[in-house]
Structure formats: C-alpha cells, structure tokens
Amino acid sequence: MNSLDEILKLLLSFDGISRKFVLPSIIDRLRLESFNGNSPHSLGEDSAAILTTSDEYVLLTTDAIVEHLCLNSPQAAGFNVVLANMMDIYAAGGTPTSFAVALSYSDPAIGEALLDGLINGSQTFKVPIVRGHTNPSSSSTYVVGSATGTVRKESLLTAGGARSGDLLVLLFDTDGHRGASYHLGWDSVTGRSSEDVVHRLSVMNELADAQILMAAKDVSVAGVIGTAGMMLEYSGCGGTLSLDALDSSKPAEIPLEDWIRMFISLGFLVATSEENLPEVKRVSNSHGLTTAMIGHVDDSKSFKLKLGDDERVLFDFTKGGVLTPRNLNT
C-alpha cells in the first residue's frame, strides 16, 4: 500500500480511531453536567492529575478490554488491562502505586485465566492489586482496570502541551514481535523480566524530571497516527506526520499499513523542541528505547500526513471536536 489516499481511507475506517469520534460529545456532557466536571488536567488526559496539598499530584486512570479478547484470550486480556493502565500513568511522568479491577464472566475457566493475567501483570509492572469487584455469573464478559500513581507537580506531563515548532518523536522498543492475541499489537514485554520492563517504562520519569518534553501520550490502540491526532487536537494545534519517517524506523517485518495502526507496548509519542531532541535521544537510549523523529507541530489546526511529495489533511480541527475535547488548560 503506497498511495496516500489509500492510507487515509484505511485510517478513517480503522476502529481504533473511529471509536474516538464520540469522545468530544461525551466528555463535553460530563464536564457540563457532573460535579466539578471541568476540573483541569482531567477529562481528555491519559491520566487525571488530582490536586493535593503536598508537592505531588495523585494520578488516576481507567481502561477496559474489549469482550472479544476477554472471551478468546482471557489471560492476555487480564495482563493487557494492567499494561494499558500502567502506560497511562507513565505517560504522565508518574509512578504507579495501586491497581483495582472489575471482572465479569460466566465461564469459571475464563475467570481463572483473567485472574492469571492480572496477577502476571501485577508482578511484571510491580503494582499491587488493592481492590476489585467480581460478577461470576454475568451474561457479559469484561475486565476493567483503574490505577493510581504519583508525580511531582513540576514534572507532570500533559497530553495537551504541544506547541507550534515542536517535534513529534516516537519512543519505542525495536526488540519485539507482533502480538500473539492481537494482530495489530507490537509486543515488547513478553519474555522480558519485570526489571527490564520497568526500566524501559521509567524513561518517562527521567524525561519528566528533566522537564524537556512539552507533551506526551502512550501509543494506544488508536496507533501512532490516532495518538498524534489526539495530542495535536488536545494541544489546540495542527501538525504534519511523515509516513516516510515511520516507514524507515519501523520494525522491518511489519508492513507500514499495520505499523501506523499498531498498539505499541512500551511506546510513547512525545513533543519536544529541536534543542532538546539530543537529550531525549540520550535518555531514551539509556532505557533501551529507540527514538524516531516523525513529524512536527504547527499552528494550522489541521493534522496532515505526508508521503513522499504528497500531503493530505487527515483531520481538520477547525470544524469542531474530532477525537478529543477542548483542553481547559490552554
């Protein structure tokens, strides 16, 4: 697939992105109708940052796993719900402190496999499971997790801090493989020790403390394109992402049309200045991660993709909310 028009069509029909289209209206209603729903650093962020009287924020995040994966790969579902929450905490520059889970199933074997995955995730990411709710006789099967963490107030990383002139940089582990339970997943965790996994994730703690990033998000099931679109829109900016840069830096065995839609475990998209890029690379390399400069931020309020000499607008943010709500902190 080498036509930019074909790639745009693929992305716009990709469930990882299209499911986000409902978020602006849902979040706007929550902000307007719930108690103190317009709190800063909350709805729209990967992790909500809850103000305290100490020198730290308490971070809070929630993620769920689709029922299909719970039914067909329940152990992977249990593990991945921990992974997804951990990525959100680290994306904010934080350190996880606890995990809670809600389980629903009717098949005891599925319930046991979900628990196996949750326990494996708890051990891998060194986070205690402190609370839960279980329905073992439900007509639906799901696993939902929530995590807490902490981050020093001066080190908080936001998803909406990118500014015109910043570079978009992908941090990821090239040592991995296609996910066994999810075709559009890049797995850099399986087979790794807990120490290695946490060492890679803690790259975000060091970068946050160095205060050299303007914005950060983990690369979720929306893939790197969807993640970039959410960051740019939430930042009130526009930008251009180079598919050629993604193609040249991706794992050789993964075709570009898959890589642009992949969930990348241990993968983060950050916005930083050209001046700080060498230090971002140095820190990332010291944590076993590769850096790829894949785009830049501008003030156009449109998200463009470039392939060779061709350029197309994927999202025009001037026409109303697309993927994320308005950032209250800008």
The type of residue at 145 is: G
The verdict on 207 and 296 lying in the same domain is yes
The verdict on 205 and 296 lying in the same domain is yes
Report pLDDT digits (tens) over 85-123.
999 999 999 999 999 999 999 999 999 999 999 999 999
The verdict on 173 and 280 lying in the same domain is yes
Last residue of a domain, one of 153, 168, 186: 153
The verdict on 228 and 315 lying in the same domain is yes
The verdict on 310 and 167 lying in the same domain is yes
CB 47 within 8 A of CB 86: no
Handedness of CA 126, 130, 132, 136 (dihedral sign): positive
Which DSSP category does 286 fall into? H
Last residue of a domain, one of 135, 153, 171: 153
- Domain membership of residue 330 (yes or no) is no
CB 27 within 8 A of CB 43: yes
- Domain membership of residue 30 (yes or no) is no
Handedness of CA 89, 45, 180, 202 (dihedral sign): negative
The verdict on 13 and 71 lying in the same domain is no
- Domain membership of residue 235 (yes or no) is yes
The predicted pLDDT at position 59 comes to 98
Task: Return the SS3 of 323.
Answer: coil
Handedness of CA 208, 210, 214, 219 (dihedral sign): negative
- Domain membership of residue 327 (yes or no) is no
Q: Exposure of 11 by Cβ count < 10 A (0-12 exposed, 13-18 middle, 19+ buried)?
A: buried
The predicted pLDDT at position 27 comes to 92
Report pLDDT digits (tens) over 218-253.
999 999 999 999 999 999 999 999 999 999 999 999
Structure tokens at 26: 């849902």
The verdict on 304 and 287 lying in the same domain is yes
The verdict on 74 and 205 lying in the same domain is no
Last residue of a domain, one of 153, 178, 205: 153
Task: Return the SS3 of 94.
Answer: coil
Report pLDDT digits (tens) over 154-175.
999 999 999 999 999 999 999 9
The rounded Cα 144 to chain-centroid distance in angstroms is: 16
- The pLDDT-based confidence of 58 (bands split at 50, 70, 90) is very high
Strands in 229-329 per DSSP E: 238-242, 263-264, 268-272, 290-298, 302-307, 310-316
CB 129 within 8 A of CB 204: no
User: What integer is the mean pLDDT of 52-72?
Assistant: 95
Structure tokens at 137: 């006789």
- Domain membership of residue 229 (yes or no) is yes
Cβ neighbours of residue 226 closer than 8 Å, sequence gap 6 or more: 11, 14, 16, 17, 20, 220, 261, 323
- Total domains, the chain: 2
Find the CATH number of the domain harbouring 259: 3.90.650.10
The verdict on 129 and 196 lying in the same domain is no
CB 180 within 8 A of CB 228: no
- Domain membership of residue 328 (yes or no) is no
Q: Which domain holds residue 93?
A: 39-153
The predicted pLDDT at position 327 comes to 86
- Domain membership of residue 34 (yes or no) is no
- Domain membership of residue 46 (yes or no) is yes
The verdict on 168 and 297 lying in the same domain is yes
CB 64 within 8 A of CB 143: yes
Structure tokens at 58: 């308490």
Find the CATH number of the domain harbouring 69: 3.30.1330.10
Q: Which residue has the tokens 């995955």?
A: 117
The verdict on 189 and 278 lying in the same domain is yes
The verdict on 112 and 175 lying in the same domain is no
Strand 302-307 vs strand 238-242: parallel, antiparallel, or unpaired? parallel
CB 213 within 8 A of CB 299: no
319 vs 285, residue with greater confidence? 285
